[in-house]
Structure formats: C-alpha cells, structure tokens
Structure 1
Amino acid sequence: MTCSIIVGGQWGDEGKGKIISYICMKDKPSVIARGGVGPNAGHTVKVKGKSYGIRMVPTGFPHLDAKLAIGAGVLVDPEVLLKEIEMLKEFKVGERLVVDYRAGIIEEKHKEMDRKDEHLAKEIGTTGSGCGPANVDRVLRILKQAKDIKELEDYLGDVSELINDTLDRGEDVLIEGTQGTFLSLYYGTYPYVTSKDTTASTFAADVGIGPTRVDDVIVVFKSFPTRVGSGPFPTEMPLEEAERLGIVEYGTVTGRRRRVGYFDFEMAKKACRLNGATQIALTGLDKYDKECYGVKEFGKLTRRAKEFIEKIEEVTKVPVTIISTGPEIEQTIDLRKEI
C-alpha cells in the first residue's frame, strides 16, 4: 500500500499531468483524488495523440480501473465539471467519479466578482474562475456545498471514507495537487498567489487523510520554470531568449503566454522543504538539452543533463526519480526502483 501526493514545485504548469498519467499507467492506483483550489488550475492530458484540457476531473482519468475523486477542500464549478464528464464519457468518468458532498460550489456571481474586481483582475492577474470570491464566502460560512446542487447528486459521496477505506485494504492511492508551491496563499509570492495553500499538507487535508497516511510526496519541477500573470520571477529570461530556446507556452485556463525563466536551485530546495518531498520528478529535460529528447535510459543522457540532475539532488537533498524527456507517456525515465 502506498499513498502518494503529486505537488508542483514552482508556479504551476510544471507538467504534473504528464507525471500523473505516467504514474497511473505504471502503478495503477485504485483511487485518484484531486486536491487543490478549484477550476483555476488546468492540466493538459494527452491520450493516443489527442489533448484534453482538464480543470476539474482528476487528470489520471485515462486509468480506467481507478475511482476518481474530488475532495471536500476543492471548489467545484458544476458547469465546468459536467462539461468535462460529458467530454470524457468514452473514459466512463461519470461512472467512476465521487465528488465529496462537502466540496464548495462556485456560482456565477463568484465568477463575475472575480472578473470585475480591478485589484484581482489587473494587478494580481486572476484567472477569473471565481475561486477567490468563493473561498471568501466559504470563510464567511455562506458558500453552497456540493450536496446543495441537484445536478451533482449522482456523483456525491464521502471522499475521506473512500480513501481511508482503500488504504486500509492495502491498495494504492494517488493524490493530485494543483497549481504550484509558490502560488500558496501562505508560502508563495504574496500577494501574487492563489486563494489557499497549495502544498502537500493541504492537499492531504483536502481529501480527508492525516499526514501519517502519506508515504511519498513527489514534487514536480520543470527544467525551465514558467509563470502566468504578475508576480516576482527572479530567474526570468527575456521573451526573445525563450523563443530562441523554443519555449513558447500558453496557460491551459487563461490562454495567456507564460513567462519563462532559468531553473532556480534555491527555490527548488525551499519547495522540497515546504512539501516534505521524498522524490522529485523533472519535466522538460529535452528542452534543457535537445539531445535528450525521447531518451528512456538514464545512462544514455548527455553529461550536461546528468550534471544538471546531480546538482538538483545535491542542493535539495532529494532524489530525482522520474525524468520526462518528451510529451508522450513512454518518453520517461523511471529510477524509483533504484532508491
């Protein structure tokens, strides 16, 4: 039995969707649960050459034998969720999904407030998905819960009971975190942050398990970190340099162009500490060194790539165990069996 949490180690967009898809394919967990804020985070999942932009359903949905869960700590936009269930009906998402009856509900008024608030929209760079205003109402104890929404009644359940019972049976659980560590309301680049904490401890609480039930925390880093919207970015490079390197990306939710920077080793160390990382997954190694594209064996990586990985391990004191060398699931090096 293992319970693993996947966490973004930068400002989101680290490639967590690819890592989650790979782990689901290899480890075949019985439950894949989503923690995090809500539909303000997007993941891109590629299945047989087709891309799916997902904001609510756990990104491990291609693993057909797993229950899919959305924890009580997550904000749910019923409109977004129901559209995704319909979009993913070939994966039988609707038959496998459990939405915790205590999850908070985003209403249209929250989205309108989010988009109209000049401070949030222009200065902070909110996604406009209504999460901030909904979390305000949650704190004020006036927010609707999933159990209050008739359209969701077929999916309601107790996610905490589901996960704890699964672990008691000795089966595996994977918890997906959203956003990135430095978008945390507490530990991020305040005020340019999201509306709640985004570290492993909170993701565990989001789905209703205690810290002693967690076996692994896998922090995901991208070789060239990116950031959407405003806020500090100490290692940011000029857009011209990013274009020269072939790193032009756009946010899954906002469609805004991502700012690009060089890898920040000290920031990585801090992310590992904040999350209690036991392992690191590194994505975009093929962007760092194009000769590494599609490589599936560590021994076949270039010296430059190996030295980069060794420095990450040296600074963070955490092993790099999963290395992505391309967008496809099979373009992955898995060193977990070696630790």
Structure 2
Amino acid sequence: MTCSILTGGAWGDEGKGKCITYLCNNDKPDIIARAGVGPNAGHSVEFNGEKYGLRLIPSGFVHTGAKLMIGAGVLVDPEVFFHELEYLNKYDVKGRTLVDGRCAIIKPEHRERDKHSDYLSKKIGSTGSGCGPANSDRVLRIADLAKDVPELEDYITDVSLAINETLDEGNDVFVEGSQGFSLSLYYGTYPYVTSKDTCASTFAADVGVGPTKVDEVITVFKSYITRVGAGPFPTEITQEEAEAKNIEEYGVVTGRRRRVGLFDMDLAKESCRINGTTQIALTCVDKLYPDCAKTQDFSDLSGETKKFIDDIQTETGVPVTIISTGPDLKDTIDLRDELL
C-alpha cells in the first residue's frame, strides 16, 4: 500500500502534468484523485503523440486501469466536467470518474463575478474561472454542493471512503495537487495567491486521507520558474532574456504569456519544508540545458546539469528522483530505485 501526493513547488506550471502521466502510467495506482482549488489550474498532458489540456479530470487518466476521483475540497464546474468527459472519451473516463458529493459547485454567476471584479481580474490576475467567488460562497455556507446537482447524480461517491478502503486493502492511491506552493492562500505571495492553501497537507484533506496514511510527497520544480499574473517574483528576468534562453511560455488555461525567472533555491527550500517533500521531480532540464534533451540516463547528463541537480539536493536535503529531459514520457530519468 502506498499513498503518494504530488505538489507544485512554485507558482504552478512546473510540468506536473507530464510527471503525473509518467508516474501513473508506470506505477499504475488503483485510484488517482484530484485535489486543489478547481478548474482555475490547467495541466498539460502529452501521451502517444497527442496533447491534452485539462482543468478538472485527473491528469493520470492515461492509466485506464485506475478509478479517477475528484476530492471534496475541489470546486467543480459542471460545464468543464462534462466537456472533459467527452474530450477524453477514448480513454473511457465516463465509466471511471467519480465526484465527491461534498464538492462545492461553480455557477455561471461565479465566473461573472470573477471576470468583472477589478480587484480579482486586474490586480490579482485571476483566471476568471469563478473559483474565488465560489470558495467565498463556500465559506459563507451558501454554495451548492455536487450531491444536490441532478446531472451529477451518476458520478457522486464518497471519495474519502473509497480512498481509505483502497489503502486498507493494500492498494495504491495517487493524489494530484494543482497549482503551486507560492500560490497558497497561507504561505504564498499574499494577496497575489489563489483562494485556498495549495500544500500537501491540504491536498490530503481535500481527498479525505489522514497524514499517517501518506507515504510520499513528490514536489515538482521546473529548472527555471514561471508565474502568470501579478505579484512578487524575486528571480524574474526580462522577456527578452527569456526569449534568448528559449524559455518563454504561455498559460494552459488563460493563454497569457508567463513571467519567467531563474531557479529560486530559497523558495525551493521553503517549499520542501512546508510540503514535507520526500522526493523532487525536476522538469524542463532540456530547455535550460539543451545538450541534455531526450537524455534517458543520468550518466549522460552534462557536468553542468549534474551540478545543478546536486546543488538542489544539497540545499533542500531532498533527493531528485525524477528528471524530465523532454515532453515525451520516455524522455525521463527515473532514479527512485537508486535513491530511495
């Protein structure tokens, strides 16, 4: 029995989608559960030559032997949910996806409030997905819950009960956290944050699993850092510098150009400490060090790349067990057997 939680190490966009796809496709957990805020966070998944952009359905959907679940702490927009069921129809997600009846619902009015709030949309840089207003209604105890939405009736379950029973039976559960540590309502760059905490302990609560049942916390860091929207960014570089380094990016949900910065070791240390990280997955090594593109053996990495990885391990005290050197799943160096 293993319960693993995956978290983002910075402001989101760390490449969690690829890591989730790789880990779930290889480790084949029995349940893959989505934790986090809701459809304001996008994961990109590339599998068998096709690319998918997701906002609610767990990114580990490519492992067709797993049940896919959305935990009670996650906001559900029925429009997004049903769109993704159709979008991923070839993977039989309709027959495998379940929603906790205690999830709060995002309504059209929440999206309108989000988009037309000068503070949220212009100052904070909200995605306009309605998550902030919906979470506000949840705190005020006036939000609708998934169990009361007729069209969701066939998908409702008790996610916490299902996960704990699966673990008690000796089977594996993988929990996908969304967004990133620095967007945490508690620990992030407040007020330029999302509408709830985004750390591993909250992700566990989102799906109803107690801390004593969590075995691994995998935190994903990109080899450089990006963020969308306003707020502090200590290691930020200019867009011209980002273009010169070939590391410019655009958001999955918003399409907005991301701000780009260099790897922040102080942030990495804090993120690992508060998340209780047991493993680090490092992505986009090939973008920072193009000579390492598609490398699948650690010994073939350049000396400069190895030093960068060693510095991260030394400073954080956490082993780097997964190294992504390209978008394809096979472009991955997996050191878990050697380091754990």
TM category (shorter chain) comes to: over 0.9
Q: Take 2:225 and 2:248, find their aligned partners in 1: how far apart are those partners?
A: 12
Q: Take 1:56 and 1:2, find their aligned partners in 2: how far apart are those partners?
A: 23
Partner of 2:71 in structure 1? Answer: 71
Partner of 2:100 in structure 1? Answer: 100
The Cα shift of 1:148 comes to 1.1
Q: Take 2:266 and 2:184, find their aligned partners in 1: how far apart are those partners?
A: 17
| SS of equivalent to 2:252 | coil
Q: Does 1:183 align with 2:151?
A: no
Partner of 1:59 in structure 2? Answer: 59
The Cα shift of 1:177 comes to 0.2
The Cα shift of 1:225 comes to 0.7
The Cα shift of 1:212 comes to 0.4
| SS of equivalent to 2:99 | strand
Q: Take 1:157 and 1:34, find their aligned partners in 2: how far apart are those partners?
A: 14
Partner of 2:318 in structure 1? Answer: 318
Alignment of 1:16-165 (within 5 A): 16-165=16-165
CA RMSD of aligned residues (A): 0.5
Q: Take 1:179 and 1:87, find their aligned partners in 2: how far apart are those partners?
A: 22
Q: Take 1:81 and 1:146, find their aligned partners in 2: how far apart are those partners?
A: 12
Q: Take 2:4 and 2:47, find their aligned partners in 1: how far apart are those partners?
A: 23
Q: Take 1:135 and 1:99, find their aligned partners in 2: how far apart are those partners?
A: 17
Q: Which runs of 5+ in 1 are unaligned?
A: none
The Cα shift of 1:48 comes to 1.4
The Cα shift of 1:63 comes to 0.4
Partner of 1:202 in structure 2? Answer: 202
Give per-residue Cα distances to partners, 1:102-133, cap 9 Å, x unaligned.
00100011000001111111000000000000
Partner of 2:263 in structure 1? Answer: 263
Q: Which runs of 5+ in 2 are unaligned?
A: none
Q: Does 1:285 align with 2:285?
A: yes
Partner of 2:298 in structure 1? Answer: 298
The Cα shift of 1:99 comes to 0.3
| SS of equivalent to 1:314 | helix
The Cα shift of 1:58 comes to 0.3
The Cα shift of 1:332 comes to 0.2
Contact 2:247/2:288 (CA < 8 Å) preserved in 1? no
Q: Does 1:3 align with 2:3?
A: yes
Q: Take 2:182 and 2:96, find their aligned partners in 1: how far apart are those partners?
A: 32
| SS of equivalent to 1:198 | coil
The Cα shift of 1:273 comes to 0.3
After superposing on structure 2, the runs of 4+ consecutive aligned residues of structure 1 that deviate more than 2 Å are: none
The Cα shift of 1:267 comes to 0.5
Q: Take 1:53 and 1:126, find their aligned partners in 2: how far apart are those partners?
A: 19
The Cα shift of 1:151 comes to 1.0
Contact 2:292/2:301 (CA < 8 Å) preserved in 1? yes
Q: Take 2:276 and 2:335, find their aligned partners in 1: how far apart are those partners?
A: 19
The Cα shift of 1:288 comes to 1.5
- Which residue identity lines up with residue 206 of structure 1 in the other structure? D
Q: Take 1:159 and 1:330, find their aligned partners in 2: how far apart are those partners?
A: 32
Partner of 1:174 in structure 2? Answer: 174
| SS of equivalent to 2:224 | coil
The Cα shift of 1:224 comes to 0.9
Partner of 1:250 in structure 2? Answer: 250
Partner of 1:337 in structure 2? Answer: 337
- Which residue identity lines up with residue 298 of structure 2 in the other structure? F
The Cα shift of 1:77 comes to 0.2
The Cα shift of 1:146 comes to 0.3
Q: Does 1:216 align with 2:216?
A: yes
Contact 2:183/2:192 (CA < 8 Å) preserved in 1? yes
- Which residue identity lines up with residue 177 of structure 2 in the other structure? G
- Across the two proteins, how many residue pairs are aligned to each other? 339
The Cα shift of 1:175 comes to 0.1
Q: Take 2:33 and 2:330, find their aligned partners in 1: how far apart are those partners?
A: 23
Aligned sequence identity (%): 63
Q: Take 2:29 and 2:149, find their aligned partners in 1: how far apart are those partners?
A: 29
| SS of equivalent to 1:234 | coil
Contact 2:283/2:324 (CA < 8 Å) preserved in 1? yes
Q: Take 2:187 and 2:91, find their aligned partners in 1: how far apart are those partners?
A: 36
Q: Take 1:134 and 1:313, find their aligned partners in 2: how far apart are those partners?
A: 39
Give me the TM-score of the superposition, normalised by structure 1: 0.99
The Cα shift of 1:26 comes to 1.1
The Cα shift of 1:49 comes to 1.3
Q: Take 2:26 and 2:97, find their aligned partners in 1: how far apart are those partners?
A: 21
- Which residue identity lines up with residue 67 of structure 1 in the other structure? K
Q: Take 1:221 and 1:47, find their aligned partners in 2: how far apart are those partners?
A: 21
- Which residue identity lines up with residue 21 of structure 1 in the other structure? T
